[in-house]
Every structure is written in structure tokens, then in C-alpha cells.
Amino acid sequence: MDKRILGRTICCLPGCDGPQLWATYTSDTICYSFENFKIAAGLDTGKFRGPSFHDGDFYKTLEAVAAMYASTKDKKLDAWMDNAIAVIGKAQKEDGYIYTKNIIEQHKTGQGKMFDDKLSLRPTTLAT
């Protein structure tokens, strides 16, 4: 049976009592979004899995958990965020760069080129 907090459906997966998207994006069997961060951080082994935009999806899910925490002050949500932030921080390169698909590939190949995948790169220009 689904539970609701602040009008939001909460996960009905066995053993899960948090937001359903959080359970999905942190799962290592349903969706590999957070798993990609763990691999990029060197906390797990494997290859990048899922669509190239998975990192962004996870950030939005983390943002939703933060919004729920702001309203509920639920310590479990706070612990989830702390864990995710620690893993993301460990995955982030020293220069601030973070894109798990490229970081995982760089770990595997040892190549320093990070922007060869033109389908995954989103160039941004600043107007001057």
C-alpha cells in the first residue's frame, strides 16, 4: 500500500519507505544512475549504464529529496542526502568537472580527453 507525505506518493517497493524516484535512481538493479556515481568515485566497479543524461536526472531527484527534507526534517532523508553528496563529491574531478559517463570511461582507458563524445557534450557559451 502506498504511503503519502505532503501529497507525494512514497515508495511501495519491499523494504522501502522513501520517495519512489529515490528508490529507483539509487537502485543498482532497476536504474543505474547513482551506481554510475559510485563507479566514477571508485567506490564500485563496472561500466557506465543508462542514458547519458542520468546524472542530471539524479540531481533533480536529490533536489526533490531536499525539498521534502525542508518540509519534514526527516532524519532519514538527511542521511540519504549526506550519502549522495559524499559520493558525488568523491566522483567529482579536482578541477570541478563531473560527468560520470566520461569519468568512468577515463578510468577504464586512462585517456585524458574528456570531451570526445559529441553526443554527450553540451557546449555552453557565455555572452560577452
Which is nearest to 26 in space by CA: 14, 17, 36?
36
| pTM exceeding 0.95 | no
What lies within 8 Å, CB to CB, of 100 at 6+ separation is: 36, 37, 39, 40, 48, 54, 55, 91
Which is nearest to 84 in space by CA: 57, 103, 109, 115?
57
Task: Let me know: does 101 contact 52? Beta carbons within 8 Å.
Answer: yes
Could you tell me what percent of the chain has a pLDDT over 90? Answer: 48
Give Cα separations from 101 to 9, 61, 80, 117 (angstroms): 31, 18, 23, 10
CA distance 50 to 31: 7
Q: pLDDT confidence of 114, banded at 50, 70, 90?
A: low
For CA atoms 96, 101, 106, 107, the dihedral sign is: positive
Identify the pLDDT of residue 15: 52
Identify the pLDDT of residue 121: 54
Domain boundaries in the chain? 3-109
What the block records as the C-alpha cell of 87 is: 559520493
What the block records as the C-alpha cell of 42 is: 571508485
Identify the pLDDT of residue 63: 93
> What is the mean pLDDT of the segment spanning 16-37?
82
